[in-house]
Structure 1
Amino acid sequence: MNIKPRFIALLMALAVLVGAAGSYIGIEYFANNEGEQSQSEQLANAGKNAENFGSLTEEEQKKFIEDMTGNGDLEKVAQAYNVIKENYVEEVDKKQLVEGAIQGMLDTLEDPYSVYMDQETMKQFNQSIESSFEGIGAEVSMVNDKVTIVAPIKGSPAEKAGLKPNDQILKVDGESVEGLDLYEAVLKIRGEKGTEVTLQVDRPGVSDPLNIEIVRDDIPLETVYTDTKEVDGKKVGVIEITSFSEKTSDEFHKALQKLESDGMEGLVIDVRGNPGGLFTDVQEILKEFITDEKPIVQVEDRKGEKSKYFSERTEKKEYPITVLMDEGSASASEILAATMNEAGGYDLVGTKSFGKGTVQQAIPMGDGSTIKLTLFKWLTPDGNWIHEKGIEPTVKVKQPAYFYTNPVEIEDSLKRNDNSDKIKNVQEMLKGLGYDPGRTDGYYSKETEAAVEAFQSDSGLEATGQVDEKTGGKLEEKIVEEVRDEENDRQMEKALEILFE
């Protein structure tokens, strides 16, 4: 896998991305397709009502609430507000009570994608978007009240440092993020180019937390990359999509036209590690391939009413296509994968996707604060909802085991007869580099010691047979080189192999 500089959309590009599987700020929306007017009106009316409410008199606000509820439910909220404001043992901030009430309502939804951003958080967030395109480059979401990595952007500082999908962030520079909402945590992780941040993460399958040091950098803006391969004398195009932003579909169309004009005989679309993005852009890309026989995607509202979105294409492409995906493919990437399979009949190669099947809209509250609310489910062409399930590949292929190894954290040197997950990790690295450790169960055997000695000798290190900090660092360096070598990309190899079967 050749790691080139990759880029991501403007609103996502500034550090930790609060994105498709996490929280895009007002950029997940619907195109003006036929049958969508009622959904657009819902969004417009919600924002209009919120903005207008603050300008009403107290009497008008009271009547508005009565008209909206009709059953006096909010009277209980008002009563609680007054009881606390007038009687609590200490003076209370009235604004804080209101903010807490809004946050509390959203918390009861138990939906990590529906969140509230108060004025200060929105101000900081917008300033960080407007001021720079710098950060670590990772997509995050709130999963089970934990700030969780959906996917690091390919080529980003986060990927280079070893962050992986499903890593849960515990601390930022030694400070716990427990109890913070997603945006508060994001603002702690963001920072200027060249500055360093240390994230303590809990990784599935690893017993002890990992400390990952990341140097923040520019996160540029391209989202589409092309390459060509040759399979049995046939020319194959590869288009990699790193996210779905405002210009992605245009970039994709140009790339596809160029490959087709150059005589491409097969195509691989790669959305591995793509955290998603704009609903409209993935639709436009799918219209290149999917005929009008099935919907591209379906959207279901709270009443169970479905809107279907169709392509106008009447014929499929003449060349074969495969799609590459993995556990970092989320949201719009999953729409692409599901549709290419169910409506196009194309194979999906890789591992199961993330599983995000809802659509959010950011609704301004009129005072600088914003509620981002889940309004719809999206369904596959066959009507399946993949939320929290993901999409299974039609051809399951995992990368070599060393692709999934972790950074080597050494406090005390690892040596003969020790037994730990860290040693198991080192053994997988050694095996991947061609040094036989004898076993990969975490026991530091005589064979493992010999493998370490051989690696140390070949790497110009003192051959002690023990894994110290220098040896661990050199192991990581060599593993990164292997992962970046596209000859080791089994998933791409399989996607190319099955094209012409």
Structure 2
Amino acid sequence: MFKKRTVALIVLLAMLLSSVLTLTLTDQLSFAGSGPLRSGVFADIGSGSSKSDIQKIEKAIQLIKKNYLEDVDQSKLVDGAIDGMMNALGDPFSSYMGPDTAQQFSEQIEGSFTGIGAEVSMENGSVVVVSPIKGSPAEKAGIQPKDILLSVNGISFEGLSLNEAVSKIRGPKGTEAKVKVKRADTSAELEYTIVRDDIALETVYARMEEGNVGVIEITEFSLNTAERFKKELADLEAKGMKGLVIDVRNNPGGVLSIVIDMAQQFVPKGKGIVQVEDRNKQRSQTLSKGSGKGYPIAVVTNKGSASASEILAGALQESAGAKLIGEATYGKGTVQTSFSEEMGDGSLLKVTIAKWLTPNGEWIHKKGIQPDIKVSQPSYFTVAPINKETTFKYDMLGDDIKSAQVMLSSLGFAPGREDGYFDKGTENALKKFQTSVNMKATGVLEVETIKALESSLIEKIRDVKNDKQMNTAIEEIRKEIASPVSNK
């Protein structure tokens, strides 16, 4: 589930890098200029293999079912075999998804789902609300950030994975979800009866900054993103926008046709947007049918900008004269397609079928795209979270203490060092912080102080004036607006 980018404590970068969305083609979409995708993906199963290979798999299943100590669910064996095939490819972007995971993947691409409307995460084994989605049934019912979800309709979430818990929360539109909640800082358990509804996942956010600089943030390239982007762009232009900043930081990608549609609006007619190379080394190039824009454009990127985000950044940098500002992108230069109908049971096979290149023919895989203006965020943006199961105090040493020192320094409490040694300076800084948030000044770093420290840091990170990358991009656009050579 998505909302306006939440700088979820400090570990966001690592989380995003481990869960990058693939650049996806659905069965209904095709490569530019290459015709529709062939749907009979399993038609060639005999090509390059013998019947004995297939018989070997069947024999393994038979031997397991006949000889294993306990009864075996054959469907689990088949799923495991397919999963093993995908793992054998050595490609992190090709994978097999069971029916439940496949449904969530499809909903993410489609940009909507049916449920209560809350962004959740797993924290210390608990399902915790990051935020209710604006206007959702969860928000209207009174669900709040940091609420711990205990159960739904009597089904406990204890021991379940996040995906398993989410699958229990979701359900058909109009059905009731009786959600039991433990609210932060209270021991009481609350119960809400929430009627499930269709929830639209917002992927585009726009605002106007001083000097008529428009800012559009894109969190993902779902099927509804292009239309939402066109609307927000038109609204900004109608308000007199003179320059644009597009923010694709921590955007993990999405659908190929969507990003091409969006790039058309900025790349002049006849210039390249992207090239796609298939397994036979045959390339097809998508050229823009648009007319370009007369105002300066900047794209803000970071290490979490992947796949479709990189296509947009590369197209605008090479073909539309846009400046890239921030950090080098993730570096994912492959294209996947998903096969679900062929699987026949709601599961999904996602397979890498091509690689993509920038308009100038650069394959950015595992390299990323370099920014024109390199800007890093302050160190506290990426500081590691602190272990909440341990208490830290004077004369101890470790990485958790180093994280606390970085947090204290960023908040203005000056421990005097950031090397992980808990000295008297760190203890005094911690006491001052505890006093500032109305806690007992013990100078000991325990769970409640850790929570308060991290919460204070999140507020600082969320404050737009501390967003060095965005502020640099806005200032750069202002300079270009003021320059007589800025108009294209």
Structure 2 gaps of 5+ residues are 7-14, 122-129, 139-144, 147-156, 171-178, 183-195, 481-488
Which of 33, 36, 48 is the equivalent residue of 2:34?
A: 36
Change (3 A) 1:132 1:498: same
Which of 270, 273, 281 is the equivalent residue of 1:296?
A: 273
Query: 1:25 and 1:189 mapped to 2: Cα distance?
Result: 23
Change (3 A) 1:462 1:333: same
SS in 2 for 1:408: coil
**TM-score w.r.t. length of structure 2:** 0.73
Deviates further, 83-92 or 260-269: 83-92
Letter matched to residue 453 of structure 1: K
Change (3 A) 1:327 1:190: farther
Query: 1:449 and 1:414 mapped to 2: Cα distance?
Result: 10
Query: 1:244 and 1:125 mapped to 2: Cα distance?
Result: 13
Deviation at 1:326, TM superposition (A): 1.4
1:192-220: CA deviation from partner (whole Å, max 9, x where unpaired)? 286789xxxxxxxxxxxxxxxxxxx9974
- Alignment of structure 1 residues 340-379 onto 2, 5 Å: 340-363=316-339, 364-368=341-345, 369-379=347-357
Deviation at 1:23, TM superposition (A): 5.5
Q: In the alignment, does 2:265 pair up with 1:265?
A: no
1:332-385: CA deviation from partner (whole Å, max 9, x where unpaired)? 111111111122232111122222221111123252243221111111111122
Query: 1:24 and 1:310 mapped to 2: Cα distance?
Result: 19
Q: In the alignment, does 2:467 pair up with 1:467?
A: no
Over the matched positions of the two proteins, sequence identity in percent amounts to: 39
SS in 1 for 2:306: coil
1:416-473: CA deviation from partner (whole Å, max 9, x where unpaired)? 2211111111111111111111011111122222211222222222222222222222
Query: 2:106 and 2:180 mapped to 1: Cα distance?
Result: 20
For the 8 Å contact 2:400–2:420, the answer to whether it is kept is yes
2:381 aligns with: 403
1:147 aligns with: none
For the 8 Å contact 2:25–2:256, the answer to whether it is kept is no
- Alignment of structure 1 residues 93-108 onto 2, 5 Å: 99-108=79-88
For the 8 Å contact 2:328–2:371, the answer to whether it is kept is yes
SS in 2 for 1:237: strand
Letter matched to residue 252 of structure 1: F
Query: 1:338 and 1:471 mapped to 2: Cα distance?
Result: 44
1:278-305: CA deviation from partner (whole Å, max 9, x where unpaired)? 1111111111111235310111100111
Deviation at 1:474, TM superposition (A): 1.5
Letter matched to residue 218 of structure 2: I
Query: 1:405 and 1:285 mapped to 2: Cα distance?
Result: 34
1:21 aligns with: 20
Change (3 A) 1:30 1:299: farther
Query: 1:296 and 1:154 mapped to 2: Cα distance?
Result: 37
2:399 aligns with: 421
Change (3 A) 1:411 1:318: same
For the 8 Å contact 1:20–1:331, the answer to whether it is kept is no
For the 8 Å contact 2:207–2:214, the answer to whether it is kept is yes
Query: 1:17 and 1:413 mapped to 2: Cα distance?
Result: 29
Change (3 A) 1:393 1:121: closer
Letter matched to residue 201 of structure 2: L
1:319 aligns with: 295
1:217-264: CA deviation from partner (whole Å, max 9, x where unpaired)? 99742221111111xxx3111111111122211111121122122211
Query: 2:329 and 2:61 mapped to 1: Cα distance?
Result: 48
SS in 1 for 2:272: coil
1:69-120: CA deviation from partner (whole Å, max 9, x where unpaired)? 3x6x222214424644666661777666655544343222111222223567
For the 8 Å contact 1:431–1:437, the answer to whether it is kept is yes
Query: 1:221 and 1:287 mapped to 2: Cα distance?
Result: 24
1:397-424: CA deviation from partner (whole Å, max 9, x where unpaired)? 1222222223333444322221111111
SS in 2 for 1:384: coil
Q: In the alignment, does 2:88 pair up with 1:117?
A: no
1:42-72: CA deviation from partner (whole Å, max 9, x where unpaired)? 2x343xx66xxxxxxxxxxxxx86xx53x6x
For the 8 Å contact 1:361–1:375, the answer to whether it is kept is yes
Letter matched to residue 483 of structure 1: I
Superposed CA RMSD in Å reads 3.9
- How many residue pairs align between the two structures? 412
SS in 2 for 1:498: helix
1:132 aligns with: 115
Letter matched to residue 268 of structure 1: V
SS in 2 for 1:422: helix
Which of 281, 284, 295 is the equivalent residue of 2:261?
A: 284
Query: 1:102 and 1:87 mapped to 2: Cα distance?
Result: 18
Query: 2:218 and 2:377 mapped to 1: Cα distance?
Result: 19
Which of 425, 429, 434 is the equivalent residue of 2:412?
A: 434
SS in 2 for 1:467: coil
Letter matched to residue 295 of structure 2: Y
For the 8 Å contact 2:23–2:253, the answer to whether it is kept is no
Query: 1:346 and 1:137 mapped to 2: Cα distance?
Result: 36
Query: 1:195 and 1:5 mapped to 2: Cα distance?
Result: 26
Query: 1:278 and 1:385 mapped to 2: Cα distance?
Result: 19
Change (3 A) 1:260 1:415: same
Query: 1:36 and 1:137 mapped to 2: Cα distance?
Result: 40
Change (3 A) 1:83 1:282: closer
